[in-house]
Amino acid sequence: MEKLKSLVPDSLKRMVAESTPDSLPRTCSSLLNFFSDMELFHQMVRDLTDPERAFCGKNKDAALELKQKGNQCFLNEDYGSALTCYSEALRLAPVDVDDMDKNLVAALYVNRASVLHKLDLLMEGRRDCNRALQISPSYAKAWYRRGKMNASLGNFEDAVHDLNIAKNLELSFGGQRQIESELRIITDMFERTESSLVQHKENELDLLDEPDQIKLKCVITPNKGRGMVAPSDIPPASLVHAEEPYALIVILISQIRVNSMTIFRMKSADVNGPLHQFGKFSHSEVSLTSNVEQVKVGQAIYRVGSLFNHSCQPNIGAYFVSRSLFIRTTEFVAVGCPLELSYGPQAGQWDCKDRLKFLKDEYSFRCECRACAEVNLSDLVLNAFHCVSPNCPGIVLDSCVVNCEKQKTRHVQSATGISTLEPFMQVDMLKCLPSNGSLRIDPGFCLKCDSYCDLESSFAAVNRAWISITRLKDTMVSGEISTTVLTAALNSLCLLRSTLHAYNKRISEVEDNLAEAFCLVGELQLALDHCKASIEILEKLYGPNHIVIGYELVKLSSIQLSMGDRTAVKNINRVSEIFSRYYGSHADKMFPYLQPLQGKLTKLVQ
């Protein structure tokens, strides 16, 4: 579909975009005329209508095969793939067929609910159980799974109710015993938790949490089609948009007019938060495994949401609570400025060539955002090398980066023309550029002092260093970190620091690896030092208030709390500020890490 969309000429896209209900028939015929000679289009129509391939039709065999595949992925704990298999199978499964005496669709919903449960997507999982029960009200497994979901949601009364029904419907003796034992545990929890009587309010979405949304303006931009702009100055963390998805069948014309969005939910590594995971790795109470994964839970069309363009340096962030889309400003946005979110890659995170490739492959457009169109400091330093002259903070680039920077549409000739992207970069990062203003970007030559660096030997040094860093990572997984491995990794860090530019992202990654390794062996002071060193670089690349810094501060404050260091309070407050900036009143819901951290802090100060 994306490929087909990308072939539509701009004039026709404009016509579709500007079409009204009255002009729609004319627009449709123009589109059809354009596509009618195209084999790709006819192939797509065949795919859409062929019951065997079954985009629209149903195909029991394919659904059963996907169900089997999903089951295998589930057993292998590959929950992301299991989710995809079951969702695909649900699309193909005819509504009225059975698999092993059970309605296939109901069974698929229950299987998918089990995956969602594993991924801690409880509301979505419970919704799947409800769907299964609508189709098959006496399906014991659906009652059982819903009971377990309710228990995880803290709705113990409902959980007991569901499990009792499951027990009565379950035919096998073994199954009944298992449900009874679950029931005992949950009843016990129910009795012990007085608060369980207050059912979790989160069952319902409170779309009205911030009713005074800003009325946005849609304009035609020079090179990105339609786009949203700020109708007035908007402070950071303002909710600029909230929307429920469109429940329409996706057809090509709507794909061009309103693009679909992938719905992501944060997957929390452990329902009890990172503090709970310490024991898994060591006696130390620190976990650096708080990396939050995003899980794709669906695809939907948001009428207004789809009008937001992409920027690799976004000023708004989007997130989903269940299927509702929320968009907030992450910084101050002046009146008339485009409101742009990131479709994936961001400056500071990926280099320009990788960002451009991702957006071309995934979304079929060449990114025209400022970070991709102008030479900027973030892209220059991300993968840069250290200058060979002692004490020179200049930047040395390899030919890949140089080629990409030279292709930027608004290439600059002087250092003063380089975009710093953000004021936070200016003070330190401008020191990396020539003070006389002239700029020569050539592979191997320092941008500041023009010294030549033999990049071949620099690459060799980095590769050498990487061997011991990889060994460190391997031993972290196997849990056999030795002093020899740690010493070799520390030496490699020194080598990297003398070879790569001080703000090269790889250095922050290695600092982060070392912080985690030192946590695992209980050397908390060293862990703290390396964690801070990693954050220092990331703050240069992203700025101090970026969500990435929020995640890193969760790690830092976890270490501090484990050391009994009360200054953790400062970092925990920063975490909560950053998360609120991105997720407003949903911050606690999106990040279950905050509360355990705050709870631990309260204990420490008591």
Ligand X SMILES: C[S@@+](CC[C@H](N)C(=O)[O-])C[C@H]1O[C@@H](n2cnc3c(N)ncnc32)[C@H](O)[C@@H]1O
Interacting residues toward ligand X by CB under 6 A: 17, 223-227, 259, 306-307, 309-311, 363, 365, 367-369
CB nearer to ligand X: pick between 259 and 571: 259
- Burial label, 518 (beta-carbon count in 10 A; 0-12, 13-18, 19+): buried
Task: Match 């979304």 to its residue by tokens.
Answer: 363
Q: Minimum Å distance from CB 461 to ligand X?
A: 36
- Which residues 6+ apart lie within 8 Å of 390 measured at CB? none
CB nearer to ligand X: pick between 6 and 294: 6
CB nearer to ligand X: pick between 332 and 363: 363
CB nearer to ligand X: pick between 56 and 251: 251
- Burial label, 100 (beta-carbon count in 10 A; 0-12, 13-18, 19+): exposed
- CA dihedral over 164, 169, 171, 175, signed as positive or negative: negative
Q: Minimum Å distance from CB 296 to ligand X?
A: 17
The whole-angstrom separation of Cα 131 and Cα 109 is 7
Q: Minimum Å distance from CB 50 to ligand X?
A: 28
Q: How far, in Å, are 247, 567, 573, 600 from residue 557 at the CA level?
A: 43, 8, 10, 10
The whole-angstrom separation of Cα 581 and Cα 591 is 13
CB nearer to ligand X: pick between 28 and 521: 28
Structure-block tokens of residue 33: 């005329």
CB nearer to ligand X: pick between 117 and 310: 310
Q: Minimum Å distance from CB 411 to ligand X?
A: 18
CB nearer to ligand X: pick between 301 and 381: 301
Q: Minimum Å distance from CB 220 to ligand X?
A: 8
Query: Is the CB of residue 53 less than 8 Å from the CB of residue 47?
Result: yes
Residues in the chain: 606
The whole-angstrom separation of Cα 299 and Cα 198 is 33
300 forms beta bridges with 261
Query: Is the CB of residue 299 less than 8 Å from the CB of residue 262?
Result: yes
Q: Which of these, 109, 152, 99, lies nearest to 131 by C-alpha position?
A: 109
CB nearer to ligand X: pick between 224 and 473: 224
The whole-angstrom separation of Cα 14 and Cα 7 is 13
Cα 593 to the chain's mean position, in Å? 16
220 forms beta bridges with 226
CB nearer to ligand X: pick between 363 and 424: 363
What does the angle CA 404 – CA 408 – CA 412 come to, to the nearest 5 degrees?
110
Q: Are strands 225-229 and 316-321 parallel, antiparallel or unpaired?
A: unpaired
CB nearer to ligand X: pick between 17 and 430: 17
CB nearer to ligand X: pick between 290 and 313: 313
- Which residues 6+ apart lie within 8 Å of 279 measured at CB? none
For the chain, how big is the Rg over CA atoms in Å? 27
Q: Which residue of this chain has its Cβ atom nearest to ligand X in the complex?
A: 225
Q: Minimum Å distance from CB 259 to ligand X?
A: 4
386 forms beta bridges with 395
Amino acid at 525: Q
CB nearer to ligand X: pick between 260 and 504: 260
227 forms beta bridges with 219
